[in-house]
Structure 1
């Protein structure tokens, strides 16, 4: 947990710093990706590192107030992260399926999505601080989270609302957006038109990166959400504390995956990030990438029309 937390802090700070330093990276999608890095950084600082300390001490020593604040912080950044992935999925859907549409995904839309993700997370993570639900130690009692194993009626009603609006709803938006997006990309690829090839490759590359982020998030957070929901539904279900801790630690390790995926699957970001890490040396740099980028930029306007016609079924 310590290794993952320290690496998560370092990598997410790198994503933020590189994006801020290079104005070429300040695109609508980048606002959401930087916000995702901020969320992961918060989870690592307020979740991963404290859990490392309390696990070494074999118990939480934050007290009830400290436990509530730690549980709130991790849940706040975690739900904001999931909502941000939902914003990214909508952005990809609009860019790929409606490149020439009446409403284009612009910077103001990205900022609005980022603000909404924080507001939504704040609204649904504050009730336990005021009596509806609660934050309690979980697993082997080295970290705190919403009390999903309590049988209190008020607590169970909060957890059900929390699961529905903070996990199931964003998850549904993500799945619908990507199902439509992947279907569109598949149809475009069947056209086998040379004039749409460069745009298709460009959008497909970014889409693969975001899909990898979604899968990484689900692999790390879905076991935790499923375990909590199973305990709520079946009042007789008893899970061993050590077993219950595995999904908790898996969820807290999610902070490291997004920046790794971002660096290695986003060619534009890699162009600036790798030299920053390696003091100016970029092992992926090549004249082939440069020529491909120039060709793509020159043909974007023409190729967008092909994608738009295909998305509209013309």
Structure 2
């Protein structure tokens, strides 16, 4: 009964230690969030710096990749670090204004990140499925996708600042997010629209794009135009990469979105604060693996990033293995007897 009552408290009571976790529990959370935040900051800064330093990396897709790094960097700095501090203290010590600012910042950068992932999925779909140039993903398209990501996120995260919806403490009460629990009509209308436009739409775009991409790869395999077995090997390699990307997205965001949707649908549903914290931190962990999956699997980027980190030494310099993205485009282009102008990089 005590945890239920605390769950309904407003963030105005955030300065009171709710004791939802033991001192050890809060310390463990602080260490975990701190590690993810610091690693996320380092990786995403590396992505931005290396891309700026090397002209060869400034391709249309790089706009989306760098934008993803900026979004994740924002989440780590404005969400991860403050949450590390509040977990270390055992309660939310930033007050009502701090709750609103943190909730807005994390939501703003987080939704922009989701939208950017959707842009990347569309780019990969276009490059692989339209290698003949009927549809080209150019710099202006990448820039438009980046701008749209920020505008879309800003439009749907600012209403709580003006009274439509709100930001409240979540989980073990050491971080803030959109208020999924209030049954107020205005708040409910905002949350339903927010869930649909900021979670369901990006997720649908990602799933449709990657499904079409895999279907295209399957069709190419049936043509059997490459050397014996090579096309099947390529399909397996690229399918594995795509599965990793989609699974990473699902692991990070689907539990959080599902929990929010369940609370919206069933007002009487009670989720233990400790259990509710798990999806929150899974979503925030995307700041670390996003740069790894979307960028460090890119052989060209790695060839610049590794020497930058190791002061000029690249242990993979002699690696001649073609990246999955290059192999995909080359195979599809070969099957259609056109020049492989597209690239996943």
Q: Structures share a fold, TM > 0.5?
A: yes
Cα deviation, 1:6-57, whole Å, max 9, x if unaligned, reads 0000000001111111111111111111111111100000111110000111
Aligned to 1:239: 271
Q: How many Å separate the matches in 2 of 1:186 and 1:201?
A: 12
Moved over 6 A (4+): 195-207, 292-301
- Secondary structure at 1:194's aligned position in 2? coil
Aligned to 2:169: 137
**TM norm structure 2:** 0.81
Q: State how 1:88-127 maps to structure 2 within 5 Å.
A: 88-127=120-159
- Secondary structure at 1:270's aligned position in 2? helix
Q: State how 1:135-284 maps to structure 2 within 5 Å.
A: 135-194=167-226, 209=241, 211-284=243-316
Of 57, 66, 75, the match for 1:43: 75
Of 66, 88, 91, the match for 1:59: 91
Q: State how 1:4-15 maps to structure 2 within 5 Å.
A: 4-15=36-47
Gaps of 5+ in 2: 1-32, 341-345
Gaps of 5+ in 1: 309-314
- 1:191 deviates by 2.1
Aligned to 2:24: none
Aligned to 1:29: 61
Shifted more, 57-66 versus 45-54: the winner is: 57-66
CA contact (8 A) 1:185 1:200 kept: no
Greater percentage in helix: 1
Shifted more, 121-130 versus 265-274: the winner is: 265-274
CA contact (8 A) 2:131 2:333 kept: no
- 1:190 deviates by 2.6
CA contact (8 A) 1:35 1:84 kept: yes
RMSD (Å) for aligned C-alpha atoms: 3.0
Q: How many Å separate the matches in 1 of 2:205 and 2:329?
A: 30
Say yes or no: does 1:77 pair with 2:77.
no
**TM norm structure 1:** 0.88
Q: How many Å separate the matches in 2 of 1:200 and 1:99?
A: 19
